[in-house]
Structure 1
Amino acid sequence: MILNWFKKKDQPENLPDFWKKYARLFQQEIPENIQDITYIVFDTETTGFDFENDRILCIGAVTVEKQAIEINRNFEIYLEQEIFNPETVKIHGIIKSEKTEKLSEIEALKKFLKYIGNSVLVAHHANFDIKMINKALERHDLPKLKNKYLDTALLYKRTRILTNLIDREKVYTLDEIAEAYNIDLSDRHTALGDAYITAIIFIKILARISKSKKMNSKNLFRYRL
C-alpha cells in the first residue's frame, strides 16, 4: 500500500499545474548550436551546507543569450527563513529581521521554475546549488529539476587542462577564476552578485570553446564530467 502511494505521487496527474507547465517545456530539443541556447546562470545563498537540514535564503540569476547577459531579465528572490545560522550571516549578510520581502519556499520555487523554463542552468560548483533546489522541491513532493546544467568550475578546468597553468587536482573557487579573468569582485556573496560574476566567467569560457568547429551542445555537456 505504501509503495503504491509513492509510485502514484510522482505521476503527472498528481502534480500541480505549475509543475506540469514547466515539464511540458522539455518537449522541445536543446539547440545544437551552443550560441542558440538560452542559459540561466544562478546562485543560491543558504543557511549552510547540509542538504537535509539547511535551507535556501536567496536565489539570484541572470539570463545569457548570444554570449551576452540580458541585464533587464535579472532574477532575485528572498525566502522566509525557517532556520537561522549566525555563522553564515558573516558570509551572505542576510539576517532574519531584514526588511526584504520574503516568499514561502513553495512560492519561491514556482517563480524560479517559471523564470528558468527549459533553459540550460549554469552555476559555480553547480552540484551544490542544484541539489539544494532539488531538496526544496522534494519537501513539496515535487520531482527534481529537469534542466541540463553546466558547472563553471569544471568548464574552467577542462578548457585549460592541456596547459601548464592549471592544477588538475585543484578545486578552483569563484574568486580565483574571477581574478584570473580580471573580473571585479565587489558584488561577491550576494546571490545575484555571484550569479553575475559567474555569468561573465561563463561567457569568457564559452567564447573560448565555441572557436572549435566540432563544438555543439552534445559535446558541451561532456565538459561537465
Structure 2
Amino acid sequence: MKKFFNIKSRSNNYPQYWLNYEALFKRKTTQELSNTRFVVLDTETTGFDYERDRILSIGAVDITNYEINVANAFEIYLQQDHFNENTVEIHGLIQHERVDTFTEEETIPKLLQYIGNSIIVAHHANFDVTMLNKMLKRHNLPPLKNRVLDTVNLYRATRIKSNLIQQDRCSLDDIAEHYAIDISDRHTAAGDALITALIFLKTTTLLQRKKELQLKHLFRL
C-alpha cells in the first residue's frame, strides 16, 4: 500500500501536459496499419554520448493511411549550453545559426502534444529514443510511453536471409540509395525524418506483399 501511495503521489506531481499525454494510452488501439498513426522522427545531437551530449533539433512527420502528412510536419531547434564543433560538418547546424530556439522545458510539451500515443518510427531508433528519454529525465519525467519501430529491422525483414549472400548495409544513406530516395536534405532532422518515412512506407509495402500485415507483425521483426 505504501509503494502504491508513493507512485500515485509522484504521478500527481507531474505537469498537466504529461498527464494529458499519459492519458492517451488508456485508449484502445487498432491492429490495422491503415488506421494507425505513425510519427517518424529524427534527432540531430551534439554527439553520441547519452549523458554528456544534447539534442540540437528534432524533426518529425506523421503517417496515416499510408500517406505522409507533410503539412503537419514538426521541426524544432533547441537552445544549446553544450556545443561540439566536431559534429558541425555532420549535422550542418552551427551554434549561432539564426533560427528560433526553445529550451528543453519548452520543447517537451510541444513534442508530446505532437506524438501523442502514436507509434514512433526511427532509423536506429534506440539512439533517438534514448536521447529523448534522457531529456525527459533531466526534467524529472518518465520515459516515453510510445511503442517504437526501427526501419533497420523493417528493411532487413524485406531482404533475403542467407549465409551465402552478403548482408546489406543498413545506414540511412545505403537504404535510401537502394530505394532511389533523394537525400539532398540529409543531415537535418526534418530531412532525415522524411527520408525515414519514405523508407517506412516502402518496406511495409514490400512486407504486405508477403502476407496480410498487421501492426503486431511489425513488432515481431
Residue of structure 1 in register with 2:200 after alignment: 202
Alpha carbons 1:59, 1:78 under 8 Å: kept = yes
Distance 1:11 1:84 in 2: 33
Structure 1: gaps (5+ residues):
none
| TM-score, normalised by the number of residues in structure 1 | 0.91
Residue of structure 2 in register with 1:136 after alignment: 135
Residue of structure 1 in register with 2:181 after alignment: 183
Residue of structure 2 in register with 1:42 after alignment: 41
Deviations 1:175-221 (A, max 9, x none): 00000000111000000000000100100011112234442111211
Deviations 1:10-32 (A, max 9, x none): 83212110000000000123211
Residue of structure 1 in register with 2:113 after alignment: 114
| TM-score, normalised by the number of residues in structure 2 | 0.92
- Inter-CA distance 215–199: structure 2 relative to 1 (3 Å threshold): same
> How many pairs are equivalent?
217
RMSD: 1.9
Distance 1:143 1:13 in 2: 13
More divergent stretch after superposition (183-192 vs 212-221): 212-221
Q: Where in structure 1 do 4 or more consecutive aligned residues deviate above 6 Å? A: 163-166
Distance 2:165 2:105 in 1: 41
Q: Which amino acid aligns with 2:129?
A: I
Residue of structure 1 in register with 2:15 after alignment: 16
Q: Which amino acid aligns with 1:184?
A: D
Is 2:70 the partner of 1:83?
Answer: no
Aligned sequence identity (%): 50
Distance 2:133 2:32 in 1: 28
Residue of structure 2 in register with 1:123 after alignment: 122
Structure 2: gaps (5+ residues):
none
Secondary structure of 2:99's counterpart equals coil
Secondary structure of 1:121's counterpart equals strand
Is 2:52 the partner of 1:63?
Answer: no
